[in-house]
Amino acid sequence: MGGGRISDQERSDAYMLGSLIAKQGWMLLNGGRDAGVMAASAKGAQEAGGLTIGILPDNSAHTASAHIQIPIVTGMGNARNCINVLSSDAVVACPGGMGTLSEIALALKCQKPTLLLHYKFDPQFEKYHIKGLLSYVRSPREAIEQIQAIFSNV
């Protein structure tokens, strides 16, 4: 999960994260749009041979990234964030705005493992960090290692 307007470094990290997800044999699910974290992570995953799924806010797939193989049209606007979270085993949040923040909050409320990659810390999330539901990671590789550790214990 992450913003539509991102820096070059954030774009590079999102691309690498998508690539690493695909190399694990995992599916990438994101907001599907042809912008920011969504486009970069989908491109990285697809180019690494992975499957990409985009949960789109609109009534058509016209805003989908060319790297989304399975576009899911919802017509739900921002409410589609709930689908993004509930359909994910783990959530990696890259820098973004209020939409990303809503996905983080939903993920924590739904007890989904949530990792923040270069995302600014909000003190209200500290209790989730203490419970082990929320982690802070410095790189896409560290995010993958954390997810592997989480699910090797399940």
pLDDT digits (tens, 9 = 90+) for 93-149: 999 989 999 999 999 999 999 999 987 767 778 888 888 889 999 999 999 999 999
pLDDT of residue 25: 97
Copy the structure tokens of residue 2. Answer: 């992450």
CB 53 within 8 A of CB 70: yes
The domain spans of the chain are 8-152
CB atoms within 10 A of CB 27: 17
Burial class (CB in 10 A: 0-12, 13-18, 19+), 35: middle
CB 52 within 8 A of CB 24: no
CATH 3.40.50.450 fits 8-152, yes or no: yes
The pLDDT tens digits of the residues spanning 22-39 come to 999 999 999 999 999 999
Task: Band the pLDDT of 154: cuts 50, 70, 90.
Answer: low
Helix (H, G, I), strand (E, B) or coil at 122: coil
Task: Band the pLDDT of 12: cuts 50, 70, 90.
Answer: very high
